A and B are shown apart, each in its own frame.
Chain A
Amino acid sequence: MNVPIRRLLAVVLLLFALLVAFTSNWSVFDAEELEAKTENKRPLFEAQQIKRGKITTADGQVIANSKKTGENESFQYVRRYPMGSLFGNPIGYSFITQGTSGFERSENATLTGEENEFVSIIDQIRGQQRQGSDIVTTLDASAQQLATDQLEATGRPGAVVAIEPSTGAVRVMASTPGYDPNTVPDDQDQLNTADPSVLTNRAIQDAYPPGSTFKVVTAAAALDSGAATPDTILSGASPQEFSGVDLANAGGEQFGDIDMRTALTESVNTYFAQLGEDVGAETLLDYMDRFGFGSDPEVQLPDDQKTPSGIFVPTDKGTYKQVDSDFDLARVAIGQGGEEGQVLATVTQMAEVAATVANDGKLMKPTFVQQVVDPDGRVTDELDPEVQSDVISEDTASELTDMMTSVVEEGTAEDLNGAVDGGFAGKTGTAEINIEEDLARPWFIAFAPVDDPQIAIAVTTDPCTGCFGGTNAGPIATAVMNELLNNG
């Protein structure tokens, strides 16, 4: 009977080899695929046990941190947002069941320490838990607070974006109404259905007709391409016919033959409509592209929480589609448009336009990240200003600065003259939404001080009856600029 006994042993060893093969499959060969299965909650659970990095403002006030709770082994870190709703947008939230959004999502790898793979292996050998890096942002709490307060005081949804022109550092990104990320775990459904939406970041997630603030882009294209100079004379008469339809100046005001400086200062629609046609669609689109239109702003936010600016037509599905031809060039040139194409811009995009003019024509890549500090206290990354695009020449920028300064000193924003120490340059915008009801969206873009710009800003709120950019958006811009220049 010894032969069958030996064979039995062989069969048993074969069966055990099968066990080894399957164990190898699950634990090694197939492991990556198993870790990625949605049914597998382990990676989520493990993420809950990683101490997520702290997010602070530029001066070290805590926007988000993690608190340890629970028993010995089943402990977890829960995200807290000590400043409540102040930075709900753009920072977002990070909770295990509700997911992550905003800056928390786009910087997840840094905040969870994924980027320091090598360091974390050493930590594992040392028996230490993986830990995320802290991020010091470029944001300013008091200016953010002021912007939020001022927007809320209007009683309408709105947004403010303030950027440091020379570095691209985003100092303020406020959107009202906002939400407190601490309430997300309990009230997510309510937050999702709130009307007006509280989760939408109006500074970058929605694009609106920019109205006359867009004339800065048209002027930049005209000057920089050589199609015109600040002294180019065109008729400011109102109304004038474009594409077969009359176009009037604000309040039907008449101007004679005027130069570009006067036209921008007084925001003359008919002048810029002609200028747009002189520049041509191709050149205008080219300059829009250089300013960043046509693609998402490059700041650290998830793609689905950003939207590009550009010329759009509505689709049947209620969404918008970007177009690059056949639009009414004259009306696009004044920041409006028609059925064949309507200019829409995010507040961030318009702040980038102001920042570009302020920074001698160079658009710096916008960023929220001032510094990344790893768990051992080493600074592993620091804001290194990066040119996103060379938009216009230094000369064009200085001519535009000059014109935008006279907007404040003697033009549509003269009520705000002197509101900022050192003077400032700006452009009003009053985008007509419904002419019969006199409903218009107020805009204001600006930068200050004129000689050595430290801050560029864009402000808008939802449309209101009889509203005007200089009155309804301008004061918010000057208040926030003052706060940043004096205390920032």
Chain B
Amino acid sequence: MSARNRELLGLIPVAGLLIAGFAAVFSVRSAQLDNTSLIFGAYFFAICLAAHIFLRFRLPNADPYLFPLVALLAAIGLVMLYRINSDLARDQANWFVVGLILFMLTITFLKDYHVLERYRYLIVVAGLVLLLLPRMPVIGSQVNGAYLGIKLGPLAFQPAEFGKLAIVVFLASYLREHREVLVVGAKRFAGITFPPLKHLGPMLVVWGAAMVMLVFIRDLGSSLMFFGAFLALIYTATNRISFVIIGLAMFLVGAWFFATTVGHVGDRIDTWLDPYADANGTGYQVLQSMFAQADGGLFGKGIGESLLWAPGAKETVENTLIPQVQTDFIYALIVNELGLFGGCGVITIYALIAARGFKIASLARDGFSKLLAAGLTAVFALQAFVIIGGVIRVIPLTGVTLPLISYGGSSVLANMVLVALLLLISDRARRPEPGEPL
């Protein structure tokens, strides 16, 4: 079967799942079925089909599993958002349409993504600016002590979502060029291989950027995600585990230093270690998340059947028992309603996407493609890890979104571009060489 036919086959169960999910929410609400769920399902299937047909023409050789997996996450997100509030699901579906348009534009205009290498310094500057925008006066906005969003009138935007793409593109390009010297010029000292001093500079810059994020953005999770992606790329480029260890040590030392000197970062860590110390204040959010998961158990309460609002409360998005349930804490709601099995299902989908992403990286034929695919996959997987990990207290709570599931336009748009880049790399990698038998 051709790659694209496999992709099409993969999309059909996704649409089915969406219809079933909507039908479940609907039947819980009004104890009867309605064709709304079918309409939503058909609409979703139609836009996925449009993207699929586009891929058929533009990227016939691209990985067949990536897009259905992405659609699956989007479908899960839409069902959970519909369960919270139907307006959220409608907005998110619209963002998904815009995201797909951006996805197609990326594929059309970045067919030769190597042009990105030419603009890498411009891209990294833009990326850093994007990361620091939320600290700008007037437009910057703070949520839970972290600066991850900006507000322009009614428009809210999370620039870090695009910032991560820019940083990965830059690092892939920079390391493609310098990987040889990093390895060749390395010196062994006290049993550890150190990169050559003159090339240590850019690494220190990235480390510095991660520290700046920690201090200015006050978000340990997102700086962990950026620095993790950086280490993944360094490791892929040089195959030197010692570089990763040095980098990790530098990060931990820096994080420890700022955690003890910058109040907000330290508070986050204290809350992580003992949320009960201030159960109604700083510990409230993560405790609500844990309680919601405990309520879910093995199989969950069922879609639409968990206690989303306290009895007597107004049923608004701001009033939910789990705070920010539509964005940061959506995973807690998934475990609450679909149980441990639902949570593991979601994690498995992310793992499968990571597997496809790294597969694309290993199939890619040139250094930049390999590094770019590996970097994009790493940053995507790390983002999922960091936010789920924060919600379930593996690491301190952080403010990034759960990719493709959380409510939010910037997240959907940035991740659709990320997927488009992966598919572009994949198509080029799997394209038969001229003269090769088909």
Interface residues of A (CB under 8 A from B): 1-9, 11-13, 15-16, 18-20, 22-24, 26-28, 30-32, 34-35, 37, 39-42, 45-46, 48-49, 69-76, 96, 127
> Which of A12, A23, A70 meets B343, CB within 8 Å?
A23
B contacts with A: majority SS: helix
Report the minimal beta-carbon distance from B23 to chain A, rounded to whole angstroms: 14
A35 is contacted by which of B295, B367, B378 (Cβ under 8 Å)?
B295
Q: Is B314 an interface residue (CB 8 A)?
A: yes
Given contacts A3-B239, A74-B315, contact A42 B307 (CB under 8 A): yes
B294 touches A45 (CB 8 A): no
CA distance A4 to B312 in the complex (A): 54
Residues of chain A contacted by B236 (CB below 8 angstroms): 1, 4-5, 8
Looking across the interface, which residue of chain B has its beta carbon closest to that of A70? B312
Q: Which residues of B contact A9 (CB under 8 A)?
A: 354-355, 358
Judge whether B43 is part of the interface by a CB distance below 8 angstroms. Answer: no
- With A and B bound together, what is the CA distance between A48 and B361 in angstroms? 54
Given A5-B358, A27-B296, do A34 and B291 touch, yes or no (CB 8 Å)? yes
What residues of chain B lie closer than 8 Å to A12, measured between beta carbons?
A: 351, 354, 358, 378, 381-382, 385
| Alpha-carbon distance A127/B311, docked complex (angstroms) | 19
A76 to B307, CA, bound (A): 12
Residues on B lying within 8 angstroms of A by beta carbon are 28-29, 232, 235-237, 239, 276, 279-280, 287, 290-298, 307-315, 321, 335, 339-340, 343-344, 347, 350-351, 354-355, 358, 361-362, 367, 370-371, 374, 377-378, 381-382, 385, 388-389, 392-394
Cβ of B290: which chain A residues have Cβ within 8 Å of it?
26, 34
A14 CB → nearest B CB, Å: 10
Q: Give the CA-CA distance A42 to B276 in the complex, in Å.
A: 16
Of A1, A27, A45, which is within 8 A of B335 by CB? Answer: A27
From residue B291, how far is it (CB to closest CB) to chain A in Å? 5
- With A1-B237, A8-B378, A16-B347 as given contacts, are A23 and B293 in contact (CB-CB < 8 Å)? yes
CB distance from A43 to the nearest CB of B (A): 9
In the assembled complex, the Cα of A127 lies from the Cα of B301 at a distance in Å of 11
Residues of B within 8 A of A8 (CB): 232, 235-236, 358, 374, 377-378
Selected from B28, B29, B294, B382, the residue in CB contact (under 8 A) with A34 is B294
Bound form: Cα–Cα A70–B309 in Å: 11
How long is the Cα–Cα vector from A23 to B294 in the complex, in angstroms? 9
Residues from chain A with a CB closer than 8 A to the CB of B335 are 23, 26-27
A37 partner residues in chain B, CB cutoff 8 A: 276, 291
Show 9 A/B contacts (Cβ-Cβ < 8 Å), sorted by A.
A1-B367, A5-B374, A12-B382, A12-B385, A23-B335, A23-B343, A42-B307, A49-B307, A70-B312
Residue with the greatest number of chain A CB neighbours at <10 A, chosen from B279, B308, B309, B377: B309
What A residues does B287 contact at CB under 8 A?
39-40
Judging by beta carbons under 8 Å apart, are A35 and B358 in contact?
no
Given the interface contacts A16-B350, A39-B287, does A4 sit within 8 Å of B239 by beta carbon?
Answer: yes
Known: A8-B236, A22-B393. A74 touches B293 (CB 8 A): no
Residues of A within 8 A of B309 (CB): 73-74
Instruction: Report B422 CB to chain A, min CB distance, Å.
Output: 13
User: Please, how many angstroms separate the alpha-carbon atoms of A23 and B341 in the complex?
Assistant: 10
Check B291 against A40 for contact (C-beta < 8 Å): yes
With A4-B235, A34-B291 known, 9 other A-B pairs at CB within 8 A are A1-B371, A5-B362, A12-B358, A12-B385, A22-B389, A26-B335, A30-B294, A31-B297, A34-B294
| Complex Cα spacing A34 to B295, Å | 9
Question: Across the interface, which residues of B come within 8 angstroms of A24, CB to CB?
Answer: 340
Q: Which 8 A-B pairs have the closest CB atoms?
A: A76-B311, A34-B294, A31-B294, A26-B293, A74-B309, A39-B279, A48-B311, A9-B358
Contact A5 B370 (CB under 8 A): yes
**Which of B298, B347, B367, B382 has the most CB atoms of chain A within a 10 A radius of its CB?**
B347
Q: Does A74 lie within 8 Å of B313, measured CB to CB? A: yes
- Minimum CB–CB distance for A348 against chain B, Å: 37
B388 touches A19 (CB 8 A): yes
B316, chain A: closest CB distance, angstroms: 10
Q: Are B315's CB and A19's CB within 8 A? A: no
Is there contact, CB below 8 Å, between B321 and A27?
no
Whether the Cβ atoms of B312 and A16 lie closer than 8 Å is: no
**Contact call A28/B235, Cβ cutoff below 8 A:** no
* Contact assessment for B297 and A28 in the assembled complex, using a CB-CB cutoff below 8 Å: yes
In the bound complex, residues from chain A placing their C-beta under 8 Å from that of B374 are 1, 5, 8
A69 and B340 CA atoms in complex are apart in Å by 32
Give A18 to B382 CA distance when docked, in angstroms.
13
Contact A1 B343 (CB under 8 A): no
Q: Are B347 and A20 in contact (CB under 8 A)?
A: yes
Give CA–CA (A70, B315) in the complex, Å: 10
In the bound complex, residues from chain A placing their C-beta under 8 Å from that of B321 are: 42, 45
**Residue of A6, A18, A22 with highest tally of chain B CB at under 10 A:** A22
- A42:B291 contact, CB within 8 angstroms: yes
Is A1's CB under 8 angstroms from B370's CB? yes
**CB-CB under 8 A for A22 and B394, given A27-B339, A35-B295:** yes
B373 (CB) vs chain A CBs: closest residue: A5
Chain A CB within 10 Å, residue with most, of B310, B311, B354, B367: B311
Contact in complex: A22, B315 (CB < 8 Å): no
Please state if A23 and B340 are interface contacts (CB–CB under 8 Å). Answer: yes
Find the residue from A1, A3, A12, A46 having the highest chain B CB count within 10 A. A12
Complex Cα gap A20–B348 (Å): 9
